[in-house]
Structure 1
Amino acid sequence: MSRRFFVGGNFKMNLVVNSVTSIVTNLNTAQLDPSTEVVIAPPSLYLLLVRQLADSKIGVAAQNVFDKPNGAFTGELSVEQLRDAHIDWTIIGHSERRVVLKEDDDFVARKTKAAIDGGLSVILCIGESLDEREAERTIEIVTRQLNAVAECLSKNQWTKVVIAYEPIWAIGTGKVATTAQAQEAHAAIRKWLAEKISSESAENTRVIYGGSVSDGNCKDLAKQPDVDGFLVGGASLKPAFVDIVNSRISPPM
């Protein structure tokens, strides 16, 4: 398989200078699987600090970006500002922004286009609620979210997208999709890519899993053929994040 394994750490609205520095220092000194791409997303206040501290082997992402150029948009960050700060990635469409801040599919799609047009790569989050899962609407929901983005992007721009399937019912709850549930959703997303975008996109686009990923469940999830990595929340704040990055490495005999 040609897809490079990808592990993102979303720090969310956590940490202060000392704890951010400690986490980055630990990652810099850890033996990380060189075949895995690692990208961490600190709160926006610490983006410059983290980019200055982190080794070049570690990518840095914003947790959000606006869909308009610089201007009178109080509290927002523009693509140009992120690029100027040497930030190459952004998370877009996380369920906490969709649910809590009421960002709809169209807004998520516009932000994705603005980010990629401006030179950023995007971790695009999609996922269903517990009610939608129990109503067997998972595939309907995630393809609806993806269709909105497909209306905005050219086929070539999907090379700048990592899709993060994050069932809302599993985020921060301790509940995790079973390996079969994760694989089923990821396979459906890859089928959508083949039918809607191209067979090349289906083969090359990384589809990662997020939702209470830990050092205890990551190895089984990583064995699934369509799981290309993880977007990690709470566990990215702990030393065990290194074990998740290294989830495909067999322990020494």
Structure 2
Amino acid sequence: MKFLALSVAALISSATAFAPTFRGSPASTTASTTSLAARKPFISGNWKLNPQTKSEAVDLASNIAAAITSDSPDADVALFVPYVFIEAAQEATGGKLAIGAEGVCPQIQGAFTGAVSASMLQSIGVQWALAGHSERRVVFGETDEYINGQCLKLIELGMSVMLCIGESESEYEQDLAGPVCAVQLKKGLAGIQKEDLSRVAIAYEPVWAIGTGKVATPEIAQSVHAKCRAVLAEMYGPETADATRILYGGSVTPESVDDLMAMPDIDGALVGGASLDAAKFGRIINFQSK
């Protein structure tokens, strides 16, 4: 695997960290809206409100980094961790993967008690942050407008963002996955220019599959990913849509990752629970191409 040189200086200065690269077009029998279907995979973990101590975070990050070897797939790897563990995780992983933030405040400074700004994160070498995770939308009431503000601020500062989108179980049952994701995509990316899409990744996470053990079948996930890429094509053109990575998130496991990654429009995974187990997440990082 091509390890990423993620020094603090490099992270701050790089405006195109983890920009998609192409590996050639693998054969596939699954219909796809993309003509390239060969974006560099992106495997990421979201620790959420875990673990509970710095020492646990260091051990987990170190063991995950150890799973990345010269035999691993040529993929980008990142961990999104609680703010208080960011620098410890950076040191523990030694530049073998990126350490990102689980969220960011759209404002840079001012009377926003408890908030963390993009510039604060950037000053400690953070390049990536999540925006729009379903738990932030549902539990914390973050609106599409607030999420868009996060995306815009990160892009403005030359950082990168993983925009999370996805439908609830009732919306899925009403066959609204496509329309819901389209609205969230359009609102979340409003104001972001075509030339900046290289610093945006999309994570499709059906809410009904997060933390429930339920996983969308590869075919269901592929269908929604293809719809999302079609929306991106409408917004930015086919070439830009083809170059944008769309990850699947929702109870991804070592048992499901290979089949998911075999789909032409699934470019990686945003992993929750399994990213708290170094052995499980290591297997996901070392997914086997089909």
Which TM-score applies when normalising by structure 2?
A: 0.84
Partner of 2:19: none
1:47 pairs with 2:86 = yes
Counterpart of 1:78 in structure 2 is 117
**SS of structure 2 residue aligned to 1:240:** helix
Query: C-alpha displacement at 1:17, in angstroms?
Result: 1.2
Q: Deviations over 1:53-93 (max 9, x none)?
A: 21212001100001011222111111110110101100110
The alpha-carbon deviation at position 155 of structure 1 amounts to 1.2
Q: Count the aligned residue pairs.
A: 250
Pairwise CA distance, 1:41? 1.0
Distance 1:139 1:23 in 2: 36
Residue of structure 1 equivalent to 2:250 = 211
Which of 31, 39, 56 is equivalent to 1:3?
Answer: 39
Moved more, 150-159 or 160-169: 150-159
What pairs with 1:73-222 in structure 2 (closer than 5 Å)?
Answer: 73-222=112-261
2:288 to 237, 248, 251: 248
| 8 A Cα contact 1:51 1:87, kept in partner | no
Contact kept, 8 Å, 2:44 with 2:80, in 1: the verdict is yes
Offset of residue 34 of structure 1: 4.7
How many Å separate the matches in 2 of 1:167 and 1:128?
5
How far does residue 199 in structure 1 lie from its aligned partner after superposition?
1.4
What's the TM-score, normalizing by structure 1?
0.96
> How far is the alpha carbon of 1:222 from its aligned partner?
0.7
Aligned to 1:21: 58
Percentage of identical aligned residues: 38
Deviation string, structure 1 residues 101-149 (Cα, Å, up to 9, x no partner):
1111111111101111112111110000000000111111000001112
Match of 1:65 in 2: 104
TM superposition shift of 1:249: 5.0
Following TM superposition, where does structure 1 have runs of at least 4 consecutive aligned residues deviating by more than 4 angstroms?
none
Larger RCO: 1 or 2 (CA < 8 Å, sep 6+): 2
